Amino acid sequence: MTIPERYPSRLLEDAVQAIGSLPGVGKRSALRLALHLLRQPEENVRHFAGAIVKLREEAKYCRICRMISDEDVCSICSDRSRDPKTICVVENVRDVMSIENTGQYHGVYHVLGGIISPIAGVGPSDLTIASLVERVREMTSSPAAIPTEVEVILALSGDVEGETTSFYIFRQISGFGVRVSSLARGLGFGDDLEYADELTLGRSITGRQPFRP
Amino acid sequence: MTIPERYPSRLLEDAVQAIGSLPGVGKRSALRLALHLLRQPEENVRHFAGAIVKLREEAKYCRICRMISDEDVCSICSDRSRDPKTICVVENVRDVMSIENTGQYHGVYHVLGGIISPIAGVGPSDLTIASLVERVREMTSSPAAIPTEVEVILALSGDVEGETTSFYIFRQISGFGVRVSSLARGLGFGDDLEYADELTLGRSITGRQPFRP
């Protein structure tokens, strides 16, 4: 089946092109979504568009951790119950939300805004690595500071880009004497040994832990 | 993996909820799309939102065929080279575009705006069937009209709803003496006999055509 190309309406064509510019939304889906919106009450469509424009125009980035935020300092960085000496370095805000949902982490974050990827043309200067280094430097520069009390958790993905970025950051901050850790790798809960990839299974064995019944 | 639920920003949450209200867009995709839009130039995001709002606010429906249109009468109905006596009845504008893309059809259309579906709560009065009947009545009511010159093609889907709708329309217009046809059913080009369903293969056999080498 050919993808529809002749639009009966310029307005429809414009809307389909706009929606189709979103990543992962094909022309056919874009048309389906445009026709869906056309059937909704005008008020709803205005609200839909307004929420998106407002996000783009008004969202800020936390000046400490660079996470998207409604205020100058985000709700996590300004939460006094969180440990400001434990910094979890993540690629983006989705990762923050995933970790927050576990309810297992009580430190703060640093959002890189991406990952080093020569193929995608993303270098260290495109990310917030410099501000992370500055942040760690400040935390360890006062005479009273005890660097080993500061922990930086490199919570990046386990692929080549993630490992590269982790290594790059490690080299930048290791001189400050802070502890640097990374996420535990191994079999997921419920994972079947038979279907685990060799690398993961290998790490699960070498990183084996005392059995706690 | 749990779906992220704690949003670091109310603006982000609003945008995700708006995008997630689209059919077929889950919460996770909505978040991904919202973060994508956040990275785009402000101008692009405003254009994106504007195209959608403009579509909803300014799109009209052709007063003859009920297709979405920028003018009172759509570009197909106002095209003098098309045959106004051949009316192809389709469910929606996507079907119009699909048929137009074949380049094989030179008549006009009638867009129902849906299909009769008791399960979805869609009855004949929710569709543009009355205006189709009126259209056919007008075409055949003048003393000079020759009803058999008018052809109505029921180009609806081959499922129960499509068949029901076709039958309903057929009963409404058969009294005017016009020709009523439906799409040819059979094996698609390139289809493998082995994998064709029985109904389609059955229709391919009973509706067999002279071999034209």
pLDDT digits (tens, 9 = 90+) for B19-72: 999 999 998 899 999 999 998 999 999 999 999 999 999 999 999 999 999 999
Contacts of B17 in chain A (CB under 8 A): 51
Q: Which residues contact B51 (CB under 8 A, 6 or more apart)?
A: A11, A14, A15, A17, A18
Inform me whether the C-beta atom of residue A93 falls under 8 Å from chain B C-beta atoms.
yes
Q: What pLDDT, on the 0 to 100 scale, is given for residue A103? A: 85
Residue B3 banded pLDDT, cuts 50, 70, 90? very low
Distance of alpha carbon B86 from alpha carbon B73, whole angstroms: 17
**Residue B66: closest C-alpha in chain A:** A8
Q: What pLDDT, on the 0 to 100 scale, is given for residue A184? A: 82
Residue type, A171: R
Q: What pLDDT, on the 0 to 100 scale, is given for residue B213? A: 65
Determine the CATH number of domain A10-58: 1.10.8.420
Where on the phi/psi map is residue B165: left (φ > 0), alpha (ψ -120 to 50), or beta? alpha
Q: Which residues of chain A register pLDDT less than 50?
A: 1-4
CB B167 within 8 A of CB B124: no
Does this model's pTM top 0.80? My answer is no
Residue B5 banded pLDDT, cuts 50, 70, 90? low
Q: What pLDDT, on the 0 to 100 scale, is given for residue A2? A: 44
Verify whether the Cβ–Cβ distance A32 to B23 is below 8 Å: yes
Verify whether the Cβ–Cβ distance B38 to A55 is below 8 Å: yes
Distance of alpha carbon A124 from alpha carbon A63, whole angstroms: 18
ipTM for the complex?
A: 0.78
A161, two tokens: 């880009």
Distance of alpha carbon B174 from alpha carbon B130, whole angstroms: 14
User: Strand, coil or helix: what is A82?
Assistant: coil
Report the gap between the CA of A33 and the closest CA in chain B (Å).
7
Contacts of A38 in chain B (CB under 8 A): 55-56, 59, 68
pLDDT digits (tens, 9 = 90+) for B63-84: 999 999 999 999 999 999 999 9
User: Strand, coil or helix: what is B57?
Assistant: helix
Residue type, B54: K
Sequence spans of domains, chain A? 10-58, 81-210
User: Strand, coil or helix: what is B86?
Assistant: strand
Distance of alpha carbon A132 from alpha carbon B98, whole angstroms: 53
User: Strand, coil or helix: what is A37?
Assistant: helix
Residue type, A141: S
**A81-210 has CATH 3.40.50.10860 classification:** no
Considering only residues 12 to 51 of chain B, which have any Cβ-Cβ distance to chain A shorter than 8 Å? 12, 14-15, 17-19, 21-25, 29, 31-38, 40, 42, 44-51
Considering only residues 102 to 161 of chain B, which have any Cβ-Cβ distance to chain A shorter than 8 Å? 102
Verify whether the Cβ–Cβ distance A37 to B52 is below 8 Å: yes
CB B62 within 8 A of CB B73: yes
Verify whether the Cβ–Cβ distance B45 to A22 is below 8 Å: no
pLDDT digits (tens, 9 = 90+) for B84-133: 999 999 999 999 988 888 888 999 999 999 999 999 999 999 999 999 99
Of A8, A52, A53, the CB nearest to B96: A8
**Residue B94: closest C-alpha in chain A:** A4
